[in-house]
């Protein structure tokens, strides 16, 4: 889900995103008129506001192949929202004619195995684009190459539309909370305004509500829980059956039912914790090995560790219940049988 908010995180320098009232998430672009920009600038409490173009375009490479790309047009004067880390070239070169900066993953996707070479060209909307820099950028949900250019050039690279203003990036005056500035923009300009953090959650919640991703993941987790419980329960049950004589001997020596139940639960807890440690360790190693993969996403925050640990303990307790009955009803005389 964090991949859906990558560009909100990458586009820094402004605390507030302003958009059409009907926009539901970052990729639900409904262009605004240039007059909306001036209305936002006139709202009391807005220190400054700049344009941002965001859309999809199609690049035609020198070999004739086509590639869908994510096109970002930054404000010509300020370049607010420019990539923070340039690993080849300079940000200032973006002011040159037909200049673009591409993300590192996108460069390797278009020119696999080639070193960073400035001056490469391709076409977008029958317009020449010249590569002047390569930057670091977070992976996106669509995994298309990301191209940064100036707003004035983005309107040429993109298919012609009557309205081209995708978003307005704004900054509130010092001392004013972003939420208060957003309320003023919505009241005076009639546009939707959200602080950066809230817009991230708006995008995530859209995918959670409107797509099948939560259901697919939920079914996967539920099946894993059920299968884990079944396998663990069978293992504990067989362990108990194979050791009935030992439990009978303990019962013959005066060990009570509560003590036997405590022993079984303790064994289940120890085995569960060992399995939890091995599983989390294996998952962490797998995540480190696949960190740079363009196709896999790995994220392990502390709530995942806590939730997984609780699930493992619950599975261990439930599975141990299957074998407790056998131990409670066993006769001590079983230890003397051949």
Instruction: Specify whether the CB–CB gap between 251 and 314 falls below 8 A.
Output: no
Residue whose C-alpha is closest to residue 252's, from 327, 328, 332: 332
> Please, which pLDDT band fits residue 295 given cuts at 50, 70 and 90?
low
CA distance 92 to 114: 24
- State both tokens at 197: 């953090």
pLDDT at 302 over 90: no
Q: Which residues contact 212 (CB under 8 A, 6 or more apart)?
A: none
Q: Where are the domains of the chain?
A: 2-210, 216-336
pTM as predicted = 0.76
Give the pLDDT confidence of 141-161 residue by residue, as tens digits.
Answer: 778 899 999 999 999 998 888
- Region 224-246: mean pLDDT is 77
Grade residue 253 by pLDDT with cuts at 50, 70 and 90. Answer: confident
pLDDT, mean of residues 186-205 = 94
Per-residue pLDDT at 262 exceeds 60: yes
């Amino acid at each position: 889900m964090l991949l859906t908010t990558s560009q909100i995180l990458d586009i820094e320098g402004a605390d507030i995103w302003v958009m059409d009232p009907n926009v539901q998430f970052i990729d639900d672009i409904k262009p605004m008129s240039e007059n909306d920009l001036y209305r936002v600038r006139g709202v009391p409490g807005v220190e400054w506001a700049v344009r941002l173009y965001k859309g999809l375009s199609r690049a035609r490479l020198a070999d004739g192949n086509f590639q869908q790309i994510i096109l970002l047009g930054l404000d010509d004067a300020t370049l607010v929202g420019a990539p923070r880390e340039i690993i080849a070239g300079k940000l200032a070169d973006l002011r040159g004619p037909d200049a673009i900066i591409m993300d590192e993953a996108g460069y390797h996707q278009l020119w696999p195995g080639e070193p960073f070479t400035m001056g490469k060209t391709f076409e977008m909307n029958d317009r020449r684009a010249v590569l002047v820099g390569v930057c670091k950028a977070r992976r996106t949900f669509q995994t298309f190459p990301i191209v940064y250019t100036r707003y004035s050039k983005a309107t040429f690279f993109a298919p012609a539309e009557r309205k081209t203003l995708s978003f307005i990036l704004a900054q509130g005056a010092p001392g004013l909370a972003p939420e208060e500035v957003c309320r003023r923009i919505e009241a005076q300009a009639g546009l939707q305004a959200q602080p950066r953090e809230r817009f991230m959650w708006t995008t995530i919640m859209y995918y959670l509500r409107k797509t099948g991703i939560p259901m697919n993941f939920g079914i996967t987790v539920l099946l894993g829980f059920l299968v884990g419980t079944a396998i663990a329960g069978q293992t504990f049950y067989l362990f108990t059956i194979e050791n009935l004589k030992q439990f009978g001997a303990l019962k013959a020596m005066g060990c009570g039912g509560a003590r036997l139940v405590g022993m079984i639960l303790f064994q289940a807890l120890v085995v569960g914790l060992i399995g939890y440690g091995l599983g989390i360790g294996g998952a962490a190693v797998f995540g480190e090995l696949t960190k740079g993969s363009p196709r896999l996403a790995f994220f392990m925050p502390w709530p995942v560790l806590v939730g997984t640990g609780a699930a493992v303990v619950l599975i261990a307790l439930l599975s141990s219940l299957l074998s407790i009955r056998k131990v409670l009803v066993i006769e001590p005389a079983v230890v003397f049988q051949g």
